[in-house]
Structures are given as C-alpha cells and as structure tokens.
C-alpha cells in the first residue's frame, strides 16, 4: 500500500500554488520526521450492519432547523464540555465509545464533575440486558442508549475497559473468529463490584435528521452521535488499499470519498461511530484522488472541500488527530460525508443530584476529589472520629495522710500530652486503719470530682478504681491533682500511689 503525505503548507490554499509547482514527491513524500503515521496500531472499525440497523431513512425525520435560523460560521464551544479522549484499543466497539462519550458530555452538562463511565459495562448491558447484537462486537447508538436509559451504566472504576477482545487464552470457547458465544464479545460478565454499583441513566434517545445537527448543537448545546459507512482512504486508514495522507491523518481530516474509495472500501464493508461537537464552515482542504494526489477539474484547477464537522474520536491520542487544533484525538469530518453516509442519534441532559459521600468505602462518591474522612461531609461520621488512644499516667511517691486534717495531703501528676479526654479511670492505693475517715478528691482543668467520701466504716485501706466521668471533654494536658484528707482522730494512713487510665477522643 502506498503512502502519500501532503505537508501542512499543501493543506493551505494560500500556499497551494507553490506546492504544485514542485515535483510531486517534494510535497507528498512520507517523511518519518513528520511524526507518527497511521500504521502503528489497528485503529479498529465496526460492523456496518449494526451501525445502520433500525435507523430510519434520514428523509423521514423532521427538519429541526428554524426557517430563519442563522448559524455562526464556526462553533466549537462544546469541546470544553467533553471528557478526555479514550482509546477503544483493538476492539471494534466504536459505537460504545461514542455513546459513552455522549453520556459523559451530558453528565458534565448536568453538573457531574469528571464523569467516567464504563464502556465495558455498556457493551455487556447492550448485549445481555437489551439483548441486541449478541454475536458481534458491533452495536449502534439506539441499542446503547436503551442500555443507558433502561438499565443504567456504572462508572469506569467498577469495571475497567479491556483493550483486547477475549481469545482462547481467556476462555476456550472464544478461540474462533465468528459465531462466538456472547461472553467472547463482552469479555465475560460484570464483577460483583459493578453489579452492586450505582447505575447512572440517561433519558431515552432518538434519531436525528443529519441536516438538523447544527440546530441541535446550538439549541441543546451537547453532542450528537453519528454512525457512518467507513471509507478507508477518506479516513487515511492503515488498511486502505489506496494511498493515504499522513498529514491529513495527523490533523484528523476526513474527506468526502472519491469514486474509487467508495468502490474499494465497500469490498471491506465496515462502519464507524463518533461524536460531533461543533463545526467549521471555513475549513477548506484539498481533495485527493484514488492516487492520493490533488484532485483537479477539467481545466486543471485544484479542487477543494469546504465545511467540516468537528468530532471526538475513540482511537486515543498521539496519532489520529494529534495536530487537530481542538485537541489531540479530535478530527474534521466532511459535511457531505455525514449527509450522505451517516445516521445521527441524540439523548438529553439527565437529572443529577450530587450524591452523599459514603464515609467508609474508599470511593469519592460525590466526585469532589475528597475520599471518605477527607471529605467535610464525613466530619461527624463514627468511622472518621480520631482513633481512641488509651494512655496511663501514675505516681508512686508515697505520702503520710495527716490525722484529722481537712487540708489533707496532695499528689500531682503532670500530663504533657495534648488531646481531649474521653473516659477517666482513677486507681487508688491507700493504706489506712479506718477508711470511713477518708475523703478523696481529684481536680483537673478547673473541675473537681469526689472519688471517695468517708464511706466503708471501720474497714481498712482504700484500694479501688473509680470512673471520673465528669472530666470527659476536658483537655488532657495539664496538672491532675489528688487530695486525700482524714476527717476523724486516732486512725492514720499513707497514700502509697495512684494512677490515671485515660482514653482520649
């Protein structure tokens, strides 16, 4: 297969004459320094019959243009409302990717931050829940949107996309090339995480007259899915039997097919689907013939094509459309190409309410970039409270308890640690010949708690553990002072030691 590449100046009419005055190879050589060519990957297309299955004749659909409608010559503001360009890898699921791109566009319009839905799940849902196209990789926007509207689609993280279709290495039944079980086209069934996940839905879709695309883009202000017959030379695709143009490939330019391209491409029938997000009436490109050379009229004048849709593709970035001014992976698609060989399908903006953050599942449920306890919504959630910390502080310094002296003896534990007190237990070790004489008080952070107040009668000693619940919520740090006093004559004793067992909040 020959490869011919017009350089960037040759794409501009202002320099066309200069280019044509040179030998052909000077303007049309395949220079490896021009960047990646369209021959580095598969850039898969789809089953043509699936793309058009059930699509009505465009002429039967209403024209939604207003009689006095005047559209701008260029319209590309919707590009800013698109999710990142993705790659379908080597699988022929362009219609799935175009539909998910539209779904993400619609959820962005609805206010959802950074939507990223699962193409893998939509492929499965279309075939196993909608029960369409079960024995082919292909599908179309109508079936895909029914999956989204009736059953809902999960987020990408719940079932990430696999770039390669299952083979015998994945399942022995997937070793052939046709009439395979449905699981071979869906790469199996969803994992439990996807089955349990939130299902995001769209309003029901509808077919759109391709002549009404501008009306839809400007009034609804969101994208349009377009499926079409695939013409290989027009797309400058690696499988084209006719010469292709690497410069056009890099800019993502797709021309109206010439007669030979139509004939040769239909020998390898295929379809493709994309999302249209704008247009440029002023974009003008030199047409090429079956030899990949500039097309001319009978008088030798170079023919051009003017007027292109701006579209988002699903062949990844860095190659097709890498030089497109609207973004890597975007392209320009001929108005006439879509009018004659395309079908259009649309949906509408869904209702979206910011979901509450689930505080213990490791997921950013509300899409604000904060997960679980980092999210302000979770400040009061039990799982986000500081992990309780148990601390013990003690004094082993003994002191005699003055007999019949209300001022008693004091012992202080200075706590250096910061924190907030949750629970406090005080353990006392006192020897005394008549515990009914004793009163024990704990003071901290401006508060006092009586731990023992002359109970127990004639029994000896005071060794017990007491809860000091009244001190919950105080600062941990600071002086904790215990006072032990004797309130009757004759019996005496000693404070041997005491300790604090504190659990902080």
- Cβ atoms of 180 and 311 within 8 Å: the answer is no
Pairing relationship of beta strands 253-254 and 330-334 according to DSSP bridges: parallel
Tokens 């003994």 correspond to 398
Locate tokens 């300790």: which residue? 499
| Claim: this prediction has a pTM higher than 0.75 | no
User: Tens digit of pLDDT per residue, the chain (505 long)?
Assistant: 343 344 333 333 333 333 333 222 222 223 333 444 443 457 899 989 999 999 999 999 999 999 889 999 999 999 999 999 999 999 999 999 999 999 999 999 999 999 999 999 999 999 999 999 999 999 999 999 999 999 999 999 999 999 999 999 999 999 988 889 999 999 999 999 999 999 999 999 999 999 999 999 999 999 999 999 999 999 999 999 999 999 999 999 999 999 999 999 999 999 999 999 999 999 999 999 999 999 999 999 999 999 999 999 999 999 999 999 999 999 999 999 999 999 999 999 999 987 788 887 887 777 677 888 888 888 777 667 666 778 999 999 999 999 999 999 999 999 999 889 989 999 999 999 999 999 999 999 999 999 999 988 788 999 999 999 999 999 999 999 999 999 999 999 999 999 999 998 7
Contacts of 304 (CB under 8 A, 6+ apart): 13, 284, 285, 286, 287
Residues of the chain with CATH 3.90.70.10: 8-346
Look at the block and give the residue holding tokens 């706590």.
415
Nearest to 334 by CA among 352, 309, 316: 309
CATH topology of domain 8-346: Cathepsin B; Chain A (3.90.70)
CATH architecture of 389-504: Sandwich (2.60)
Q: What is the pLDDT of residue 232?
A: 97
Residue 243, both tokens: 């010469």
Alpha-helical regions (H) of 210-363: 213-219, 246-251, 259-265, 335-341
DSSP tag of 354: P
- CATH 2.60.120.260 maps onto the chain at 389-504
Cβ partners under 8 Å of residue 74, min gap 6:
278, 279, 280, 281, 282
What distance in Å separates the CA atoms of residue 292 and residue 243, rounded to the nearest whole number?
5
What does the DSSP 8-state code read for residue 156?
G
The residues with which 187 forms a beta bridge, in sequence order, are none
83 close to 101: Cβ distance less than 8 angstroms: yes
Neighbours of 204 (CB within 10 A): 12
Strands (E), 183-323: 206-208, 224-229, 253-254, 271-286, 304-312
Q: Distance (Å, rounded) from C-alpha 46 to C-alpha 31?
A: 30
CA distance 26 to 148: 51
Q: Phi-psi bin for 170: left (phi > 0), alpha (psi -120 to 50), beta? A: alpha
Which of 499, 368, 493 shows the shortest CA–CA distance to 438? Answer: 493
Give SS3 for 228.
Answer: strand
Q: Angle at the Cα of 361 (from 357 to 365), degrees rounded to 5?
A: 30
Nearest CA to 43 out of 344, 190, 185, 254 is that of: 254
Choose among 74, 327, 108: nearest CA to 200. 108
What's the full length of the chain, in residues?
Answer: 505
For residue 333 the two structure tokens come to 């698609």
User: DSSP letter at 212?
Assistant: G
Q: Residue 398 burial (CB < 10 Å; 0-12/13-18/19+)?
A: middle
Dist CA 171 CA 166 (whole Å): 7
Q: What is the pLDDT of residue 363?
A: 78
Place of tokens 């701008």: 72
Q: Residue 41 has what pLDDT?
A: 55
Residues 6+ apart with CB under 8 A from 497: 394, 395, 396, 397, 398, 429
28: enclosing H helix or E strand: helix 24-28
């Amino acid at each position: 297969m020959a490869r011919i590449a017009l350089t960037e100046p040759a794409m501009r009419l202002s320099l066309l004459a200069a280019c044509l005055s040179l030998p052909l190879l000077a303007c049309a050589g395949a220079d490896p320094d021009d960047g990646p060519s369209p021959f580095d990957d598969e850039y898969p297309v789809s089953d043509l019959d699936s793309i058009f299955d059930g699509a009505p004749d465009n002429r039967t659909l209403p024209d939604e243009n207003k009689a006095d409608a005047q559209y701008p010559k260029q319209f590309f503001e919707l590009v800013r409302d698109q999710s990142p360009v993705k790659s379908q890898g080597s699988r022929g699921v362009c219609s799935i990717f175009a539909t998910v791109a539209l779904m993400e566009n619609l959820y962005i319009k609805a206010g959802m931050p950074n939507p990223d839905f699962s193409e893998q799940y939509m492929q499965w849902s279309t075939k196993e829940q909608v029960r369409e196209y079960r024995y082919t990789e292909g599908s179309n926007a109508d079936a895909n949107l029914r999956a989204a509207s009736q059953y809902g689609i999960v987020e990408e993280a719940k079932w990430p996309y696999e770039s390669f279709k299952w083979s015998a290495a994945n399942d022995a039944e997937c070793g052939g090339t046709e009439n395979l079980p449905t699981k071979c086209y869906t790469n199996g069934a969803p994992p439990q995480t996807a089955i349990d996940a939130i299902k995001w839905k769209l309003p029901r879709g509808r077919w759109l007259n391709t002549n009404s695309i501008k009306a839809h883009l400007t009034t609804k202000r969101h994208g349009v899915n377009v499926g079409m017959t695939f013409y290989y030379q027009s797309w400058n695709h690696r499988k084209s039997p006719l010469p292709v143009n690497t410069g056009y490939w890099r800019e993502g330019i797709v021309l109206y097919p010439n007669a030979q391209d139509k004939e040769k491409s239909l020998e390898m029938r295929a379809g493709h689907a994309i999302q249209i997000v704008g247009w440029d009436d002023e974009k003008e490109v030199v047409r090429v013939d079956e030899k990949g050379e500039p097309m001319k009229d009978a008088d030798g004048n170079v023919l051009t094509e003017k007027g292109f849709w701006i579209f988002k593709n699903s062949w990844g970035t860095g190659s097709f459309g890498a030089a497109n001014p609207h973004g890597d992976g975007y392209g320009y698609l001929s108005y006439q190409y879509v009018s004659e060989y395309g079908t259009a399908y649309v949906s509408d903006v869904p209702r979206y309410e910011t979901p509450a953050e689930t505080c213990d599942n490791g997921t950013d449920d509300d899409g604000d970039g904060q997960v679980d306890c980092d999210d302000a919504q979770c400040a009061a959630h039990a799982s986000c409270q500081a992990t309780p910390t148990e601390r013990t502080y003690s004094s082993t310094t003994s002191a005699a308890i003055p007999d019949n002296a209300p001022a008693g003896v004091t012992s202080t534990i200075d706590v250096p640690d910061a924190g907030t007190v949750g629970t406090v237990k005080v353990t006392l070790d006192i020897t005394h010949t008549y515990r009914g004489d004793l009163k024990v008080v704990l003071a901290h952070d401006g508060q006092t708690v009586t731990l023992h107040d002359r109970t127990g009668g004639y029994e000896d000693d005071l060794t017990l553990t007491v809860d000091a619940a009244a001190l919950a919520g105080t600062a941990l740090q600071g002086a904790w002072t215990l006072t032990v006093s004797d309130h009757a004559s004759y019996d005496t004793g000693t404070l041997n030691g005491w300790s604090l067992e504190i659990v902080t909040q």
